[in-house]
Amino acid sequence: MYQFYFFDLDGTITDSSLGITNSVRYALAKYGIEEPDRKKLYRFIGPPLAESFREFYGFPEEQCQEAIRYYREYYRDKGIYENQVYDGLEEVLKKLKEVGKQLVVATSKPEVFAREIIRYFHLDSYFSYVAGMELDGGRGTKAEVIEYAIRSCGAEDRREVLMIGDRKHDVIGARQAGIDCVGVLYGFGSEEELKEAGAAGIAASVEDILKYA
């Protein structure tokens, strides 16, 4: 029986596609790169930004860090609010809290932004902790964020911890940290991606998360 539920943020708690893709477009424009097809930029949702700029556009490390700074210029003031909570998600959080579960956010987004988003949508009463990466790149992998979240919430038995996320990075990070992960299909990852990464279960809808309570 799981006691601790670690929720990814982008693609799991909120649909952040508009804000993230607008921020990526803003950064790419600094290099004369235009991407008219917004859906091609959905692949930026979930993984660490440096990894995405490197993998999808071939940026060397120094340029990745510069691109992240440009991305944050837009995201900090506008992109962070171009966002919405998935329908039914708050009710799921409420039901998990009612049966005594401890809820934690574990995201590759910088922690300062994640905390602002959770406050903005008035979800902070549900979560005992919000764990994310550091602005300087520290805790740069999902496994590092999960380890940090485990320490922060005092989860001593990893068998009691469940990660919930929409991309393979959530599953892989969870496995590296020795915990189970349920992949959700309403976000930005496919069932094939999640199963290949080793997801312990699949939630087709927001409400399906409660099957693992």
Residues 87 and 183 in one domain: yes
* Structural domain span for residue 68: 17-81
Confidence check: pLDDT of 48 > 90: no
Instruction: Record the pTM.
Output: 0.92
How far apart are the C-alpha atoms of 169 and 174, rounded to whole Å?
8
Q: What is the CATH number of the domain that holds 60?
A: 1.10.150.240
Q: Do 135 and 76 touch, CB atoms closer than 8 A?
A: no
CA angle 195, 44, 190 (to 5 degrees): 25
Q: What is the CATH number of the domain that holds 151?
A: 3.40.50.1000
Confidence of residue 47 (pLDDT cuts 50, 70, 90): confident
Q: Which of 8, 15, 166, 170 is catalytic?
A: 8
Question: What local confidence, expressed as pLDDT, does residue 51 receive?
Answer: 92
Q: What is the CA radius of gyration of the chain?
A: 16
Mean pLDDT of the chain: 96
Question: What local confidence, expressed as pLDDT, does residue 177 receive?
Answer: 97
21-32 pLDDT, tens digit each = 999 999 999 999
Residue 87 is among the residues annotated as catalytic for this protein: no
> CB-based burial of residue 98 (10 Å sphere; 0-12 exposed, 13-18 middle, 19+ buried)?
exposed
Q: Do 207 and 93 touch, CB atoms closer than 8 A?
A: no
